[in-house]
Amino acid sequence: MRIATLILLSVLALPLSAQELICSVQVNSSQVQSSDKTVFENLQSTVYEFMNNRRWTSYEYQVEEKIECSILLNISSWDNIESFTGTIQVQSRRPVFNSSYSTTVLNFLDKDFSFKYVSGQPLEFIENSYTNNLSSILAFYAYLFIGLDFDTFEQQGGNPYYEKAQAVVNSAQSSPDKGWRAPENQKNRYWIIENLLNNAYSDFRKGIYQYHLNGMDFFATDAVKARAGIAEGVSLIQKAYRQKPGLFIISLFMLAKSDELVNIFTPAPVVEKTKVVNILKSIDPANSAKYNQILSTNP
């Protein structure tokens, strides 16, 4: 169990291995007309240090335990002082047991992204308070990365980190910045964490646990067992979908997994393919043509 392993690591690991994330950061400022790119270089370094050097949990992580993730800040405008707008693309990955393969867990383009930043100043973040939009957004995704990672190793394992992400959302309710409130739209940070903590959709979290620990982690030794575990995982996710068709967190999961699922089930027997494709098309109808490719290829 991942929790037990991490508790043991908290006793044995060296202090230098405390940080949880291996987060690559890139700032793209190609849309901004400015001859001085120093501010964007400083922004990239500041975000990198914030994500990688801060301790987000009480556990001690060894290098192989750290969570692989990436952040792309695509800046579309800057007032040449402190105000920036753009998008932030976030992605997290999980290693597959006995394999060099890493499976994508989250891949989201967040378009509600504006912030103030003064070049050279470190980012401040205080739990349960709203300091600034950039640090709040980054902290939200740090906790989300960690929560999702725990959920793939232990059922409901991500709860403490989802609750911390929810606290970030709650603290930002009175801010003027977008992405934090329920009425704005059904596909923002508020709804990501609402979906994950809503017991009505608990089958989704059971499904991603089943998909990874009892599915992906068996591929190196037993591909048939692995596919069966993954099929059970998507079946559980279908149960959550039936509670609320179009559930945002399911859309995000399928965005991360659709290509992987095609590769996994293309070699499967016809009966297995047909069952899984029907499930996938029901929970991700936008990609029905992609899933039909599974059926059109003979094992």
In this predicted model, what pLDDT tens digit does every residue of 110-133 receive, in sequence order? 999 999 999 988 999 999 999 999
Q: Report the pLDDT averaged over residues 142-161.
A: 97
* pTM of this structure: 0.92
Whether the per-residue pLDDT at 143 is higher than 70: the answer is yes
Q: Report the pLDDT averaged over residues 218-238.
A: 97
Q: What is the pLDDT of residue 253?
A: 97
219 and 103 Cβ atoms separated by less than 8 Å: no
Q: Is 197 helix (H, G, I), strand (E, B) or coil?
A: helix
Whether the per-residue pLDDT at 173 is higher than 50: the answer is yes
Tell me how far apart the alpha carbons of residues 91 and 128 are, in angstroms, rounded to a whole number.
25
- Pairing mode of beta strands 67-78, 21-28: parallel
Whether the per-residue pLDDT at 39 is higher than 90: the answer is yes
Domain boundaries, the chain: 1-197, 201-299
The residues, any chain, with a CB within 8 Å of residue 46's CB and separated by 6 or more, are 117, 121, 122, 123
Q: Report the pLDDT averaged over residues 156-163.
A: 96
The identity of residue 157, as a single letter, is G
